[in-house]
Amino acid sequence: MTDSQAPQAPGAARPEAPMARRRPATRRTGEAEPAGGPPRQTGQDWRTWPVYAAAELGFRNYWYPVQWSSQVGRKPVPVTVLGERIVLVRDSGKVHALQDRCPHRGVPLSLGRREFPGTLSCPYHGWTYNLGDGRLCAVITDGPNSPINGRVSVATYPVAERIGLIFVWIGDGTPHPVEADLPEELVDNSFAMGGRSDIRRGNWRFAAENGFDEGHAKYLHNTALWRLFKVMPTWNVTRVISEGKWLTRVQDQVHWEAEFPNVGKFSNKRWWKRMPLPDAPGKASKVNPVIGSMNLLGFVSIRLPGILRVAYPQFIHYEWYVPVDADHVRYVQIMVRFERGMQARLFQAKYLIAIRWLFHGQFTAQDAWMVDVMDAPPERLYRPDLSLTAWRRHVEDVAPTVQPATTGSTGAR
Ligand code: FES
C-alpha cells in the first residue's frame, strides 16, 4: 500500500489506513499448547536478545523519515511514528510536528483548520495551538478572555528536512544533528534520487531482518522482473563485519549452482541471463567515484535505528524501516546516483520509467509479502541466519532506549 509518492510525483491521494492485525503472543520454547490448540511449534525465542525483543516499537533518540517534504503544506498531515500520533503542518515554509490529539476531548488536530498565522485550531471547539511551542493561544468558542488560554499545551517534536524527506526526532532532551542519523555519503555529496514510501504490514524488526537477511534474496527474488536477465547465486559463504555504525555482509564464497544429494542440481543460470556483478561494489571495472571511495567490502549493510544500504557500482539503494505501530512499518526506499547535470536527469527519468516499478515496486513487494506472513518466534535458525543474529547482537551491544509499548490500536497512517 503506497502511503506517499516519490518527490517526482507529488499530489498522490492518501490511501486508507490498513486494519491493524496483531500477532499472536510469543510462546516460549517448550511451553505447552492449549488443549485442542494448533500443533506444537518448537524453536528458539528471542530471550537471547532482550533489548531487541522489547523493541516492538523501535528505539528512542533517533531521527526518523516520516513523509516526503513535497507532501506537507498548509493542510495538516497525520502520521504515526513509533506508536506516537503526530500532525505535520507547514507554516511560512517551516514544517512543524505536534502531538495529534487535542487535550480537550481527544479529537485529532490533523482534522483541524488554519485560522490564524502560525497556529492550528482543533475542528471541534476551536482550541487553537501555537505551532512553535504547542501552547494553547486562543479558545475561539470561549472568547478572548478564556481562563484556560495559555494553560494547556500539546507536545511538539523537533523537525528537519533533508534529501527531500521530513525527519522527526523521537526522543528526549536536545536532539543530536540529523546528519548523525543519515548515511555519511548522503551528507556531503551531490546526487540524484527517486524513492517510494509505503506503510506495510508487519513489525519493523521483520522488515529490517529481511533487508539484511543473507539467505532469501537469491531464492525469493529469482523470480523478480528486476533480476530477469541476471543470474542469482544458489548459496554463499558469508560473514558479517562491523565498520563504524554499519554492519556489512561480506561474501567469502559465491556458488552459482550446486548438486544436492538425493534430489539433484539447482541453479538459477539460464541462457538469457548474464552473470552479475562481483561480490563487492568496489571490485567492478567501472565504479562511481563516490561509491569507490567508500571502500565497501560487501554490497549490503545495516545500521541503527534501522537503515539498510545496498551499494552497487553505479548507484546505492537505501531502506528505512520506521516503526508505525507493532504491526506496521513505514518502508522508505530511495535510489541514489551520485551524478549532476544530464547524468542526474537521465537517472531520474530511468527511475520513473523502470526502477520505481521494477525494483521499488515488484521486487520489494516480494519482501513485503514475506514480512507480512512471517510468524516468529519461535524460529529454527540456519547457517545463513548469522546476518540476523549479528544484527540482533549489535542492537544488544549499543543498547538503545526502547520505545515503550502503547496499548490499543494507533491506526497505522
Ligand atoms: Fe478539541 Fe474540543 S476536542 S477543542
Which CATH number covers residue 375? 3.90.380.10
- Asked if 165 and 197 sit in the same domain, the reply is no
Q: Tell me how far the alpha carbon of residue 121 lies from the centroid of ligand 1, in angstroms.
A: 9
Closest CA to 346 of 315, 387, 384: 315
Per-residue model confidence as pLDDT tens for the chain (413 residues):
344 443 333 233 333 333 334 444 443 433 444 455 555 556 799 999 999 999 999 999 999 999 999 999 999 999 999 999 999 999 999 999 999 999 999 999 999 999 999 999 999 999 999 999 999 999 999 999 999 999 999 999 999 999 999 999 999 999 999 999 999 999 999 999 999 999 999 999 999 999 999 988 888 877 776 766 677 888 999 999 999 999 999 999 989 889 999 999 988 777 766 776 665 566 666 899 999 999 999 999 999 999 999 999 999 999 999 999 999 999 999 999 999 999 999 989 988 988 888 888 888 888 989 999 999 999 999 999 999 999 999 999 999 999 998 754 555 67
Tally the C-alpha atoms within 13 A of residue 8's C-alpha that lie toward its C-beta. 16
User: Which of these three, 174, 201, 220, is where a domain ends?
Assistant: 174
- Among residues 156, 174, 192, the one where a domain terminates is 174
CA of 96 to the centre of ligand 1 (A): 20
Cell of 262: 538425493
Q: Is residue 87 assigned to a domain?
A: yes
Domain that holds residue 315: 184-398
Do 315 and 195 sit in the same domain of this protein?
A: yes
pLDDT in the model for residue 269: 74
Please give the distance, rounded to the nearest whole angstrom, from the Cα atom of residue 4 to the centre of ligand 1. Answer: 29
| pLDDT score, position 333 | 96
Residue 14 lies in a domain: no
Residues 256 and 375 in one domain: yes
Q: What is the sign, positive or negative, of the torsion defined by CA atoms of 97, 395, 359, 223? A: negative
Based on the domain organization, do 190 and 158 belong to the same domain? Answer: no
Same domain, 194 and 292: yes
CA distance 368 to 224: 13
The C-alpha cell that represents 243 in the structure block: 565498520
Total domains in the fold of the chain: 2
21: in domain: no
Please report which helix (H) or strand (E) contains residue 217, including its range.
Answer: helix 217-220
Whether residues 264 and 322 fall in one domain: yes
Instruction: Say yes or no: 347 and 208 in one domain.
Output: yes
Probe target for ligand 1 pocket from 124, 137, 152, with the most ligand atoms within 8 Å of CB: 124
Q: Do 385 and 286 share a structural domain?
A: yes
Residue 340's contacts (CB-CB under 8 Å, 6 or more residues apart) are: 190, 192
Residues 113 and 138 both lie in one domain? yes
Say if 403 falls within a structural domain. no
pLDDT for 25: 40
20 lies in a domain? Answer: no
CB atoms within 10 A of CB 147: 9
Q: Which atom of ligand 1 is nearest to the CA of 126?
A: 4
The rounded Å distance from CA 93 to ligand 1 centre is: 27
CA of 51 to the centre of ligand 1 (A): 38
Backbone region of residue 386 per phi and psi (left: phi > 0; alpha: psi in -120 to 50; beta: other values): alpha
**Within-domain flag for 224:** yes
Which of ligand 1's atoms lies nearest the C-alpha of 109?
A: 1
Q: Which amino acid residue places its CA nearest to atom 2 of ligand 1?
A: 125
Q: What is the number of the ligand 1 atom nearest to the C-alpha of 127? A: 4
Mutate to test the pocket of ligand 1, among 98, 100, 107, 110 (most ligand atoms within 8 A of CB): 107
What is the dihedral sign for C-alpha 94, 99, 103, 107?
positive
Q: What is the largest CA-CA distance in the chain?
A: 85
Whether 204 and 325 share a structural domain: yes
Domain edge (last residue) among 174, 192, 223: 174
Residues with CB under 6 A from ligand 1: 102, 104-105, 107, 122, 124-125, 127
Show Cβ contacts of residue 181 under 8 Å, excluding neighbours closer than 6 positions. Answer: 62, 63, 167, 305, 307
The answer to whether residue 7 is domain-embedded is: no
Q: Is residue 220 part of a domain?
A: yes
Query: Could you give the angle at which helices 364-373 and 204-212 cross, rounded to 10 degrees?
Result: 130
Note whether 170 and 188 are same-domain residues.
no
Q: Are residue 355 and residue 236 in the same domain, yes or no?
A: yes
Q: What is the pLDDT of residue 249?
A: 96
User: What CATH number has the domain bearing residue 72?
Assistant: 2.102.10.10
Residue written as cell 556489512? 248
- CA atoms of 385 and 389, how far apart (whole Å): 6
Q: What is the predicted pLDDT for the residue at 242?
A: 97
